[in-house]
A and B are shown apart, each in its own frame.
Chain A
Amino acid sequence: MTAKEHTYLGVPVKKPKVAFFEFTSCEGCQLQLLNNEATLVDFLSLLTIVNFREAMSEQSNDYEIAFVEGSITRDDEAEQLKQIRDRAQTLVALGSCACFGGVNQLKNRFNDLAWVKKQVYGSHPIETREAMPLSAIVPVDLEIYGCPIKKEEVERVVTNLVLGKSIDYPKYPVCMECKANHNVCLFDLGQPCLGPITRAGCDAWCPTNRLGCWGCRGPAEKPNVRQLRQIMHEHGFSDEQMLDRLECFGGFGQYVSELKRASKE
């Protein structure tokens, strides 16, 4: 397929060649794009999709933007990711597995891959390594957070990318969006929540459905984790419950080890 002339507000826009790839993941973030039924056709008209294995049989190595879902857990994945990096002008990490390691990195917490393998495969040999985000292997140009990604955010980011507009994310926490949605605070509903320290941009997706935030988008700017710990304690939640959420998607790195240390004191 060749790039065709396309206009946006009367200005010609080159439809970039776009490829989608997935490593260790549930492929749910790519599916979120197909789940965009109402705007899918308009969205697709901005792009020339040359690779989308989950939905099409045609394939090509000639692309400008690569969207990569999933974390890296095997050497062959790392090698393929390097190839994609070489071919793409822009490499976008799609979703929390690609950005932080996602739920897959929970296996790293045991510091014992042999035990992890034995739990699932017994004595049968199986290849795996510590789950890593894409940025641990290659430079990443753009990160789209979330488990799953929010399709409206992807469309905004991709549109801005195609039009050459700047892309920025909120620095404030989910708590702000939750208040703007007039929700009752999850702590008042008797649930733990990472909304006060997690990066916004999801429109408080979970809290608006009365599920406390699990921090899938990673930390907001200067998160006050210590203060949140105090709030958790005041509402009767344990360090273990806070840690379950903080370590769930891999976005909070150092704060996880800090909480573990503080919890032992």
Chain B
Amino acid sequence: MSDRLAVRKTYKLYLGGKFPRSESGRTYSVTDAKGAFVANAAWASRKDARDAVVAARGAFAGWSTATAYNRGQVLYRVAEVMEGRAAQFADEVAAGEGLSAAKARAAVDAAVDRWVWYAGWTDKLASVLGGTNPVAGPFFDFSVPEPSGVVAVLAPQRSSLLGLVSVLAPVLATGCTAVLVSSHERPLPAITLSEVLATSDVPGGVANLLTGSAAEIGPWLAEHADVDGIDLAGAGTAAMELERSAAGTLKRVLRAPAEEPDWTADPGLTRMTPFLETKTVWHPIGV
């Protein structure tokens, strides 16, 4: 086997359920933590981001109206396929983040567990965040959380898998569709996750994963009139400027923490509630 030629991979984007090259034709070299070449990744352009938003908007009607139970099943299926690819994820996390094999494996396990955890939330959100309201009048009054639409996610730059899952899964669990820009230096787990999403039951366009530079694409997503929310987890120093841009079209913004948090901590509901909007119904009793 030693005289085999190395298979040098050039990965592509995941957009609308397909794997296209970047419209711009650009790629960049991905290196491991020690600086050795690992693979080529596509460098997405603003037009790829635009196409991804169109795909996400197209998928929103189906995904947001699927029953919560069905969404939970689909997301659980993703966790199953991730588990089957655990070794590949572990290798990529170890290479990209410079972790030992054991620590990388622990990060992968945590990521799969995190995905399962969010899959379980799909049909519980309405009960926890909504419910009937006691009102002073002859009305049956209740509130339900509803997904807001297309959410742009700038994934964490350092935690390439656990961080990635921790920002993508909550968006999908709420019933929103996502356009995610992966970590620039460590995109491989995001690419493998696209392959997982494509081979599980997630409809095309529900999750769109772009590799490239969040600094380049982020402003276009923040200003885009057809993006309803943006998670600035991986925006870095540009976060303030992106918040300002997002205000122009009244987006829901999940602000970036001062520095990347410890993703192993219990996330609570804090990453789901920003992209839900509450609908309250006043129903006249007896009609």
Say whether A and B bind each other: no
Residues in A lying within 8 Å of B, measured CB to CB: none
Residues in B lying within 8 Å of A, measured CB to CB: none
